[in-house]
Structures are given as structure tokens and as C-alpha cells.
Amino acid sequence: MRWTPGGTSGDIEDRRDEGGGGGGFGFGGMHIGIGGMLILLVLSFVFKRNLFTLLGNGGPSSSISTPDRSRDAREQPTVEFVSFVLDDTQKTWADILQDQGIRYRHAKLVLFRDATYSGCGSARSATGPFYCPADEKVYIDLGFYDELKRRFGAPGQFAQAYVLAHEIGHHVQKLMGVEQKVTALMRSDPGERNQLSVKMELQADCLAGVWAHSTDQRKLLEQGDVESAINAAAAVGDDRLQKMSAGRVSPESFTHGSSAQRTQWLNRGMTQGTVSACNTFR
């Protein structure tokens, strides 16, 4: 992909040296920084009450760790690349949604290691990248990209770009009102939860493809980029992941869609380049 290295997006929240990996304090699943801990300590003294109990188990459960500066330096090129992709996807969607009369709000990208907190609860690297609609933030441990390359056989920068564009696709779904409607349907009919989840995820794949279409129009794609994104979508299909982990496939438990479905909808977004092409609920 053609892009210019340098700089970090203003929409990135860097917690790589905080939370579960260090620099934060845990309280029953919640993590706060040093400043928050000191404020609670002072207030507890003033009011003669242990206010830490309001956060969970009554006290901090982890200690401060030394920031990993060498790892930060190794990851800097990746940080700069995701910064470019983040800014480009958000600018693209701001233009697209403006044409539909929808005001775009920027999502934040939280970089973390091992574990952190989110508006949707605890965030752990083992769960992979995800979008939290409650705080409108995308969470990712950059180590996932190493896993994508080594474990899932999906190398390449555009594979990394697809992952982030997919999560921003979830943010677009919230801004368009799709996320709220699907959440309501899940609550009213829990038996349809998995099928609705699959449709949400496939639409996010298609929306990632819409952004990829725009990069092609702007001559940012290089040879092999499309294949790289398609390989990444196939690598994280439910059927492939289930076969890798359990040795068998259970379609009734799918929550993201099969490899074939994910590549189909990503490719649909890339070829047609419109939001209307991404109606997975039809």
C-alpha cells in the first residue's frame, strides 16, 4: 500500500505501557491509572471510608510495571501505519456519510498490551481486535498482527489495514443506527443472536471493502494488496478458526461468518464501493 510514514494519529490512545501490561491498577476487572488511584486514596482519607471498595475487591490487584521502551520502538513503524489507515478510513467515511446526511464522529483507537479496560468491560489481547459501541473506541494489541502473519498465514500491510477497517466499519454501523437496531433485536429474540451477529460482522467486512475500493480509486493499492486482504478475511472465518482449535466445525455457533462468506462480502464492498451494496440483512 502506498502511504507516507511519520507521525501518530490524534485519534490514537496509547495504553501499551498501562493496564494489564503495566502502569495501571486493577479493581475487580477495572483498571485506573496512578492519578486516579491517588485521588481515591486522598478521598478515602478525607471521608474516612475505603472508596476503593466501590470499584470491586477493595484494593489494587496489580502493580506498576516498567514501560517496555524497546518494544515500543520496534512497534513504531506499525503504529505509524495504523495511524495512516485510521485517519484515512475516518476521512473517507466522513465524506461518504456526509453525502447521506449523517455527521461522522471520530472513533478512537486504543493500543494496549495484554489487557486493559473498555466501556464494554475488560479487553484482553486473547480476544483479538474489537470495537466497543459504548465508548466508540477500537481496541487492539499490536501483537495480533504477528499472530495474523505467523499463526493464520495472512501477512502483508493491507491485511493489517483490513482488520482496522473492519472495526471502523462497526463504528459506521453505530452512526447509521444499524448497531442499535440489531442490539434491540438480539434482546427481543435471543435465539437469533448468533445469526444477527454474523450479519453484523459480514456487513463490517463489506464496509471495510468500501474503504478499500476508495483506496484503489485513489491509486494507493499496490500489487498483491487485494489478495492480502482477502487472505486475512478467510483466515479469520469461523469455520477455519473452529477447525484449528477444536478440529471440527459447528455452523450453528458461528458469530462472524465462514471464510467464504467473509471473503465474499469483503470482495463485494471492494468491487461495488457503495454502502447500499452492504445490506447483509436483506
Q: What is the DSSP string of 253-269?
A: G-SS--HHHHHHHHHHH
Q: What is the pLDDT of residue 56?
A: 47
Candidates 103, 139, 99, 107; CA nearest to 122 is 139
C-alpha grid cell, residue 160? 493489517
Burial of 132 (0-12, 13-18, 19+ CB in 10 A): buried
Q: What is the pLDDT of residue 43?
A: 57
The per-residue b/e assignment along 172-203, b for 16 or more CB within 10 angstroms, e otherwise, is bbbbbebbeebeeebeeeeeeebebbbbbbbb
Instruction: Give the H/E segment covering residue 25.
Output: strand 25-27
Q: Whole-prediction pTM value?
A: 0.84
Q: What is the pLDDT of residue 59?
A: 42
Q: What is the pLDDT of residue 27?
A: 41
Estimate the crossing angle of helix 225-235 against helix 259-272, to 10 degrees. 150
pLDDT averaged over consecutive 10-residue blocks of the chain (282 residues)?
93 86 40 49 52 46 62 93 98 97 98 95 92 97 94 93 98 98 96 97 98 97 96 96 93 96 98 97 92
Helix residue ranges, H only, the chain: 34-47, 69-99, 143-150, 157-176, 178-188, 193-217, 225-235, 238-246, 259-272
Q: What is the pLDDT of residue 24?
A: 38
Q: What is the pLDDT of residue 236?
A: 95
Helix residue ranges, H only, 115-224: 143-150, 157-176, 178-188, 193-217
Q: What is the pLDDT of residue 71?
A: 87
